[in-house]
Structures are given as C-alpha cells and as structure tokens.
Amino acid sequence: MMDIVSLWDKTLQLIKGELSRPSFNAFFKQIVPLKIYSNDLILLVPNEFTKSILEDRYLTLIEGSINQFSLKKYNVKFVLNESEVEGLDEEDNKPSNIKKNYPNLNPKYTFDTFVIGNSNRFAHAACVAVAESPAKAYNPLFLYGGVGLGKTHLMHAIGHHILTEKKDPKVVYVSSEKFTNELINSIKNDRNEEFRNKYRNVDVLLIDDIQFIAGKEGTQEEFFHTFNSLHEANKQIIISSDRPPKEIPTLEDRLRSRFEMGLITDIQAPDFETRIAILRKKAQMERIDVPNEVMTYIAKNIKSNIRELEGALTRVVAYSSLTNRHISFDLATEALKDIITTSKTEEITVNRIKEKVSNVFNIKMEDFNSKKRTRSIAYPRQIAMYICRELTDLSLPKIGEEFGGRDHTTVIHAHDKISRDIQENDDIKAKIDKIMSELKG
C-alpha cells in the first residue's frame, strides 16, 4: 500500500496538469497530507478560505485524482489544525449529540465567532440568556432584522450552546419554507403524525424566516398548534423574521399574539466600528494578514450587511491568491472595483445633514443643539439624527454629541421613531428620501 506522502505527491502531479499555474499555486502548494483513517484521507490546509475553495471547487478533482493511484477509494477531508485528527480513532466511535440531534447547524455560527456591537448587543445578550436557560428566560424569543445581519448566526449559536451544555437535548432548526414543504409532503403521503412528532417532541425549536408562512393558512394552522404544544410543555421556541410580528402582512392575529408573548429584539446594520471588528475576526479565523487600510476601505464602503462585508474580504483574498500578490490597498481597490465605485461627491457630514434638514423644515442651525422641545424643532432634530445614523459611520454616542451632547439612547429613540413614521407617513418619507438623495449626490 502506498504511503500518504507518496500518494499525495503523485496526485499533485496529476492535478498540476489540469489547472492554471496561479490556481495551482494559490490553493494546492500549501496543502500537507496528514493521515489516512478508514476511508478518509485527511489534508491540512492553511486557512478557512482555502478550505472553502477546495471543498466547493476542487473536491471532485482531488478525489478522482487520488483514486487513480489507489486501489481503495478515499473520501478527502480538510482540516485547519493537526489537533483535529489527534485521537481520531477514539473520537470516531464516540456518539455525538450534535450529529445525532441536529446535523445541519453551521459549525462556524457560534457565540465565540459572533462579533458584538451597538447594533446587536441586546439581541446577543438575549440569545445567550436563552441558550443558558432554555424556556426560563424569554419564551418565545423573536429576532428580527434585515438580510445578512446575523439572525441565523445567533440562532445556530443558541443551538450549538444547548447541544454542548445540556444533557441529550432534542434541538431542531428549520426554515419556515422547509417546514411548509414538509407539511405539504406529510399531507400528501398521509404522514401527518410523523410530521407532528418531529416538531412537537423537541426541547428547542428554532424556526428561521417565519415571515414566509404569512398567507399560508394551512401552515399557519399547523404552526399555531405546534407552538402551543411546545409552549405548554415548557419547551423553548426561537423565531426569526425580517420584520417585527406587527409588520408581517396576512399573519393571523392568534400567531401574532403568540409571537409577542415573549421577547422581541431587533438587529440593526453594523456601525463602522463593528464592521471593522467583523473583518478583523474573519481575517483572524482564516489566518490571513490583512492590512488595516484594506479593512478600513472595505468597512467605509460596504455598510448594508455582514454577508456583503465578508464577501468583499473573501473577494480580496481570492484575488490576492490568484494573482500571487500580497494583500494591499491597491490590490483591494482593484479587486473590488466592480463592487465599490469611487465617488467624487462631497463627503456626508453632520453639518451638511443639518443644513439640508434646516432648509426643508425651516429651522435655524443652532436649534439642532438647543434644549428646545417644541415639535417644530424636536421633530426635524430627530430626522437629522436618523439621517446621521443612516448615512454616516458615526457611533450613537458621537451622533448624540453632535446634537448638543445628547445621550445615545436619544439617538436610538429618534431613529426608531422616524423609521416608524417613514412606514406610516408618505409625506415624511418623500421629504427624507429627497434629503438623503441630495446628500448622496
């Protein structure tokens, strides 16, 4: 039988002829063959990014090439640390609660990998409380926020923590779409009882994107009874949505009231400091050296959500690997030229925002910092705070300072109020849209 080093050397020679030189150098030169165990051939890779690329793009090529030189067919596994294969013989035969009870939780989505900032601090604290004391802290826990802000990460983190810390818990994570599809199939195949047992005999139910059951009467009916069954049995329910219960259209009132029984908490888009921290965390996890100026460039220009932020960093790292160049500011601007367009418009400052708002609402500049609380002044001040939160990288305390030294909670209140008014008042929405459009140029 050929040893692993010889087998891997032969495999590399075959793969080298199939790929371009940049791709081969970027993703294969640093791989170290570690161990053959049972039907698995284990390879050590330098970082999470390389691991992801190899698994997504090259796994079939690697396994096919290996199996050309071996009588035995191997499955290739990638690891980031040699410690991951220490004691593999013993670990392989140990029962795993996580695998047994729920195999689809993303291993990367834990509390340790979640970056806490002003935009998500309360939601994170609520999730930790639920994970540590299921069905005793907040039940149900309802998380809401835009796409890519970390709701799913927190839900998976709750699942991981409970599976790790509690004895033989039954944890189920499911999207509302999958819940609906399984319900339809159970009806079609006359397996209603099996479906109900799956979701009603659990200790923790995590259901993602609940807004998609709106308008689906049969699904809402089934979930209503599932919710009641679990809640009455003192089992934990965690729900996520892109909006609060009161804003989900065609959601039955009885479900809405159930969702509002526990704690409702939102996750906002991350501020500049949190975006930097997220990029640092990702670079650290993937063991990649990223200059501060590159992280600052990405964080200043990509503000919408974490998924796009991390995607931009991944693109820079890939570009660096494929062109065989070190990560630098110039390389980052080159790699992201299709995503980030250099704008020559005037910088958006608090002063510019105040000027625009004062012109539209006919108040004086000094009124923004004054103690006056009449609606004709307080409301434009709240609008200006809202726009500062939306269009600048300033932290909540810093925005408060710019408005006469007000507390950060005043800024939060202003942002929440104006956000609601935009939804309910078309005239206000039009005025704010016009101001923001002019500021953006």
Give tens-digit pLDDT for 65-113: 998 888 788 899 998 877 666 555 533 433 334 344 444 787 788 999 9
Residue 100 within a domain: no
Residue 150 within a domain: yes
Give the domain extent around 364: 350-440
Residue 141 within a domain: yes
Pair (258, 140) in one structural domain: yes
Pair (261, 283) in one structural domain: no
Give tens-digit pLDDT for 262-290: 999 999 889 899 999 999 998 887 788 89
Pair (311, 261) in one structural domain: no
Pair (129, 262) in one structural domain: yes
Residue 116 within a domain: no
Residue 158 within a domain: yes
Pair (130, 263) in one structural domain: yes
Pair (391, 417) in one structural domain: yes
Residue 146 within a domain: yes
Give tens-digit pLDDT for 115-168: 999 889 999 999 999 999 999 889 999 999 888 899 999 999 999 999 988 888
SS (H, E, C) the chain: CCCHHHHHHHHHHHHHCCCCHHHHHHHCCCCEEEEEECCEEEEECCCHHHHHHHHHHHHHHHHHHHHHHCCCCCEEEEECCHHHHCCHHHHHCCCCHHHHHCCCCCCCCCCCCCCCCCCCHHHHHHHHHHHHCCCCCCCCEEEEECCCCCHHHHHHHHHHHHHHHCCCCCEEEEEHHHHHHHHHHHHHCCCHHHHHHHHHCCCEEEEECHHHHCCCHHHHHHHHHHHHHHHHCCCEEEEEECCCHHHCCCCCHHHHHHHCCCEEEEECCCCHHHHHHHHHHHHHHCCCCCCHHHHHHHHHHCCCCHHHHHHHHHHHHHHHHHHCCCCCHHHHHHHCCCCCCCCCCCCCCHHHHHHHHHHHHCCCHHHHHCCCCCHHHHHHHHHHHHHHHHHCCCCHHHHHHHCCCCCHHHHHHHHHHHHHHHHHCHHHHHHHHHHHHHHHC
Pair (131, 263) in one structural domain: yes
Look up the CATH number of the domain holding residue 221: 3.40.50.300
pLDDT of residue 277: 94
What's the whole-number average pLDDT of the chain? 87
Among 247, 267, 287, residue at a domain's last position: 267
Pair (163, 254) in one structural domain: yes
As for how many domains the chain has, the answer is 4
Among 242, 267, 292, residue at a domain's last position: 267
Look up the CATH number of the domain holding residue 379: 1.10.1750.10
Pair (36, 147) in one structural domain: no
Look up the CATH number of the domain holding residue 72: 3.30.300.180
Mean pLDDT, 10 residues at a time, over the chain (441 residues)?
A: 82 88 82 87 86 88 88 87 60 39 70 92 95 91 91 94 89 90 90 90 93 90 94 95 89 93 92 93 85 93 86 89 87 89 67 94 94 94 95 88 93 93 91 90 66
Pair (262, 276) in one structural domain: no
pLDDT of residue 152: 92
pLDDT of residue 286: 75
Pair (330, 413) in one structural domain: no
Pair (360, 236) in one structural domain: no
Residue 105 within a domain: no
Residue 98 within a domain: no
Among 233, 251, 267, residue at a domain's last position: 267
pLDDT of residue 364: 94
Query: Does the pTM of the predicted model rise above 0.85?
Result: no
Look up the CATH number of the domain holding residue 304: 1.10.8.60
